[in-house]
Structure 1
């Protein structure tokens, strides 16, 4: 174990040394590129998860983990001294710093913490920009809007990345357009390990999917800014083996003296996917989603927001089951509560649907740090027979502070309070275990160079 720790420290020192070597060899390097900018991030994290976290069969002990992420990156500008032609490479290594007491599916003793040891080339992309248009090819992070549908899930120690061929343009005034074809998806899962899903079925984990051009997922996204107070976005996410999602939102910021008000209203619908590769047949999908929130922030640092959203339930039509609304390419951790109790429903749809209220309060101060409080009320959209429609409530707390220019700390906790009901979030109405209270804690340091 100490050998592994020493190797990780050495990798960080090599990254810093590389910057010095580059400065010494700058004249020679500029024959091929105009500029090279290295990046280094070291992110150690302690996790604690209570044994009541959802799993089948249920774990018998709490889980702890101490992991670190080392991210090495290099921005390369003006390749062959061609203005606008650049590249970015990024290597991500996640390692256990102690003998972690958690499970990846090979044992059901400990609760699940989703950050296995993985070393991966997370980004490798080339782009060419002319005017206000960029053509990009390669593996990259993708974050759209507030990441409700597609994101890099950067909370995980191994981020989610996509292989894309994309065209992004702002040539038309006030209009931001993105068109992309996805040829691969990579995320945090550990290849080859046998896990058990929420319905009790064993499956072999895989961290990668790939598609040929004729079966590739397609992304279309456009935003027109009328004014800061009115931005209109439309999108179509045609995701192979999952669903076709079509939607639009309107949002904006309205400043009045020391207060800035913000709002968002959104609606989306889902239908059967346009293609299937990993599934024998296309899944049947008939779902919709809508949300609305309003918020405000004051120049003193205080802010807040209140919102509501719904995700539709599974439907049975003429003996055929249609899956409800789901968002499988987002960060599950970011929306339905940090305790991740509802994560399976986010990815696969909620059998009885989801209705959620959320209240956010925050305070930001340049000296004292940032404080965040989130309160959720989760209910089913359709009542469960003989049980009712209550899922639970959750309180999430977070404190972040910059210790130095390059070093920051994060303290975070999630507390899910079950209504002692039957909790269902998969493609079946049973069997299921009674819900239980779930707690999670995190302590994280982040150093960036």
Structure 2
């Protein structure tokens, strides 16, 4: 692994910077998050400001590189995973500064290779994602390959040497900072006609720090899309099987499925959904490299699947107004165990809106009502974001 990281640094240093075209990339996000969790005596509040700044170097149509850092400052009373305030609810946006990405890339025709610390997302990010909702995103020390075989067929592969997690480099728990891996991810995407899309994937996840987290997952996803401003049905369906892998001392096989029919009308879309993460009472299907906040409710009660598994059923309505400048969403979730008992229910709502020409505003709300799992929790966010 040291050789891998040393090789990444060498590759970034080899090209002559003076010969490159250089452009700046930046993003600023200001957020206030308030959490009321009945498992704690006091509420939590965090105001965080993130600056992400990068320089992209382009030498030719084939060669490019990116160096990107980010810094976060925070105020308020909360547990960020690094400040030791364990008597308060968690808001995992810790202060600090670190390298977010540092990679070199080559592309020719429909082929592309990227080596170094990078953002990697596959599909809907249920299995591999960057957890972009948190101020400190998840990135990977990785080699990623992509091949655009033809107009309707794409093949992707990635090997992950290390994952840098959202808790940052200062987290008290070293396993929350980063994990040493030897993980292989395969993704094949095929479009059939104008609306149908098929994805087949395999994730061979070898966690070298926590052997019981090593899993092999393979699956298939099919979805349909509608053209903008058209009325009618669409659907997304996915099935996967997860087993123990590598040196995992446990033995299990868990099923996963997700089905989400939808109907679009005017400028709104209504959705029904059912997602199943299997469990046997002692162990359950897990998605440790996913963008977790996007799934199973914004209160984040199920980032780690309980041992009894999870059945999440939901109703959602989303849409846009004012030529797409206002974006809104309302959803209701019902959570149950795969084996035994109820968990609870949750309401989610959000409104995105412009503030001037270059700033995006967001108000977001989550309300989890416990019914056998965890405690009642309410979260509220106010956010402004600038980017280039």
- TM-score, normalised by the number of residues in structure 1: 0.77
SS in structure 2 at match of 1:333: helix
Aligned residues: 365
Q: Secondary structure at the match of 1:107?
A: coil
Residue in structure 2 matching 1:172, options 143, 147, 150: 150
Q: Which residue of 2 aligns with 1:10?
A: none
Q: Which has the larger radius of gyration?
A: 1
Q: Does 1:416 align with 2:368?
A: yes
Alignment partner of 2:304 out of 341, 344, 351 = 344
Query: Match for residue 352 of structure 2?
Result: 400
Structure 1 residues 91 and 232: alpha-carbon distance in aligned structure 2, compared to 1, 3 A threshold:
same
Secondary structure, counterpart of 2:19 in structure 1: coil
Q: Kindly state the Cα deviation for residue 414 of structure 1 after the two structures are TM-superposed.
A: 0.2
Partner of 2:7: none
Q: Report the CA distance between 1:31 and its aligned residue.
A: 5.4
How far apart are residue 161 of structure 1 and its match?
0.4
**1:325 maps to which residue?**
285
Preserved CA contact (<8 Å) 1:253 1:260? no
Distance change >3 Å, CA 156–CA 253, structure 1 → 2: same
Following superposition, which runs of at least 4 residues in structure 1 exceed 3 angstroms of deviation?
99-103, 190-194, 203-206, 254-257
CA distance in 2, matches of 1:187, 1:103: 13
* Contact 2:29 2:385 (C-alpha < 8 Å) held by counterparts: yes
8 Å Cα contact 1:297/1:304 also seen in 2? yes
* Partner SS for 2:304: helix
Pick the aligned partner of 1:69 from 50, 55, 70: 50
**Does structure 1 residue 366 correspond to structure 2 residue 322?**
yes
Aligned to 1:8: none
* Residue matched to 2:81: 104
The root-mean-square deviation of aligned C-alpha atoms, in Å, is 2.1
Gaps of 5+ in 1: 1-28, 53-57, 195-202, 316-320, 384-388, 424-434
User: Is the 2:78–2:91 contact (alpha carbons within 8 Å) kept by the matching residues of 1?
Assistant: no
- The alpha-carbon distance between structure 1 residues 293 and 439, as it changes in their structure 2 partners (threshold 3 A), is same
Q: Which has the higher strand share?
A: 2
CA distance change for structure 1 residues 139 and 103 in 2, over 3 Å: closer, same or farther? closer
**Is the aligned partner of 1:301 residue 2:258?**
no
Q: Is the 8 A contact 2:205 2:245 kept in 1?
A: yes
Q: Distance in 1 between matches of 2:105 and 2:232?
A: 36
Which residue is 1:286 aligned to?
253
Deviation of 1:206 after TM superposition, in Å, equals 3.8
CA gap 1:40/1:227 in 2 versus in 1, 3 angstroms: same
User: How far apart are 1:204 and its partner, in Å?
Assistant: 4.7
Secondary structure class of the residue paired with 2:117: strand
Where in structure 2 are the equivalents of 1:18-33 lying within 5 Å? 32-33=19-20
Q: In the alignment, what sits opposite 1:447? A: 386
| 1:75-94 map, 5 Å | 75-77=56-58, 79=59, 82-94=60-72
Q: 1:103 & 1:187 partners in 2: Cα distance? A: 13
